Structure 1
Amino acid sequence: MIIIAGRLDVDPADRDRYLAAVADVAGLARSAAGCLDFVQAADPIEPGRINVYERWESDEDLARFRASGGPMPDLPPLRSAAVQRFSIAAVESL
């Protein structure tokens, strides 16, 4: 299993515009083969932060989805990004 998680930082005045521009991406990802979860969401505390979380069955599924994308919408510039890829060997229910 692959998890992509982290944060994107934009100017607080641009956050809603950024999220509106990528709103369709979550639906496309969640309908893609191997996608277990996908969300880009406004952080409830930091006004310019967008939280990113994706969960995929395999690297191949993630790569196939990323390669299938069309042109990206005109997005506001990022101030910074800290997103990481995690390879998960085992999953346990809590």
Structure 2
Amino acid sequence: MIIVSGFLKVDPDERASYLEGCRQVVQAARASDGCIDFHLSADPLEADRINIFEQWESTEAVEAFRGSGPSDDQQAAILDAKVSQHEVAASTSLT
């Protein structure tokens, strides 16, 4: 399993519109083969931060979707970012 996690920083006044502009990307990701979960969310403490969480069945599934990243306008709105990809060897359900 692959986890992609991290954050983007955008102008606080533009965060809501940035997230709304990502709606189609989220829908496309969730419909993609190998996507277990995908979401972008407004951070409750930092007005300029968008949290990223993706869960994929394999590296191949992530790479097949990877070209569907931010549009040029969205990319230009990103002031900072820290996103990492993790390969998970095992998981335990807590629910």
TM-score, length basis structure 1: 0.90
Q: Matched residues in 1 for 2:31 and 2:9: separation?
A: 27
- Structure 1 gap segments, 5+ residues each: none
Which runs of at least 4 in structure 1 moved beyond 4 Å after TM superposition?
none
- CA shift, 1:74, in A, is 2.0
Percent identity, aligned pairs only? 44
In the alignment of these two chains, the number of paired residues is 93
- What one-letter code is carried by the residue in structure 2 that aligns with 1:55? Q
Give the aligned partner of residue 62 of structure 2: 62
Taking the aligned partners of 1:88 and 1:57, their CA distance within structure 2 comes to: 10
TM-score, structure 2 as length reference: 0.89
Alpha carbons of structure 1 residues 59 and 20: separation in structure 2 relative to 1, 3 Å: same
Alignment of 1:1-94 (within 5 A): 1-67=1-67, 69=68, 72=71, 74-75=73-74, 76-94=76-94
Q: Which has the higher helix share?
A: 2
Runs of 5+ unmatched residues, structure 2: none
Partners of 1:29 and 1:38 within 8 A in 2: yes
Task: Report the secondary structure of 2:73's partner residue.
Answer: coil
Contact 1:19 1:41 in 2 (8 A): yes
